[in-house]
Amino acid sequence: MKRKPLGGYLYITPLLIGVILFSVYPVIQVIWMSFHEISLADIRSETFVGFRNFKDIFAMEDPPFISVVWVTFAFVGGSVLFHVGAGLALALLLNLGWVKGKNFFRNLYMLPWITAGIMVGYTWSFLFEPRAGILNYLMSLVHLPSQSWTADPKLALPSIIIANIWRGVPYSLILETAGLQSINMELYDAAVVDGANPLQILTRITLPLVKEFILLNLILDTGLTFQVFDTIFAMTAGGPLHRTETFSIFMYYTAFKFGKIGMGSAISLLLLIFSLIIAILYIKFFRPGKERYA
Partner 1 sequence: MRKSKTNYISRILVYSILILYAIITILPLYWIFITTFKTPAEAMSFPPTLIPKSFTFNNIIEIFSSSKVFGFRPFLNSTIIALGTALIIAVISFLAGYGFARYKFPGRDVLLISMLFINLLPTLAVIIPIFRLFSLYHLYDTYIGLILLFSFRTAPFTSWLMKGYIDTIPVELEESAMIDGCSSRQTMSKIIAPLAAPGLAAVAVLGFRAAWNAFFAPLILTTSEAIRPYTIALYRFVGEQGEVEWRLIAAAAFISIVPVVVTFGIFQKYFVTGLTGGAIKS
The residue among 61 and 251 lying less far from partner 1, judged by its C-beta, is 251
The residue among 107 and 203 lying less far from partner 1, judged by its C-beta, is 107
The residue among 61 and 126 lying less far from partner 1, judged by its C-beta, is 126
**Residue 216: closest CA among 293, 286, 273, 167:** 286
**For 240, which DSSP code?**
S
3-state SS class at 191? helix
Closest separation between CB of residue 62 and partner 1, Å?
22
Phi, psi of 43 (to 5 degrees): -70, -20
Helices (H), ranges, 149-242? 156-181, 185-193, 198-200, 207-226, 230-235
Closest separation between CB of residue 26 and partner 1, Å?
4
The residue among 61 and 98 lying less far from partner 1, judged by its C-beta, is 98
| Phi-psi domain of 259 (left: phi exceeds 0; alpha: psi -120 through 50; beta: other) | left
What is the C-alpha radius of gyration for the chain, rounded to an integer number of angstroms? 23
Closest separation between CB of residue 60 and partner 1, Å?
18
Closest separation between CB of residue 241 and partner 1, Å?
20
Please enumerate in sequence order all residues whose Cβ is within 8 A of that of 51, keeping only pairs 6 or more positions apart, or say none: 35
Closest separation between CB of residue 14 and partner 1, Å?
5
The residue among 74 and 110 lying less far from partner 1, judged by its C-beta, is 110
Distance from C-alpha of 161 to C-alpha of 186, rounded to nearest angstrom: 40
Rounded (to 5) percent helix, strand, coil in the chain? 70, 5, 25
Distance from C-alpha of 46 to C-alpha of 253, rounded to nearest angstrom: 20
The residue among 61 and 104 lying less far from partner 1, judged by its C-beta, is 104
Closest separation between CB of residue 92 and partner 1, Å?
10
**Residue 170: closest CA among 113, 121, 103:** 113
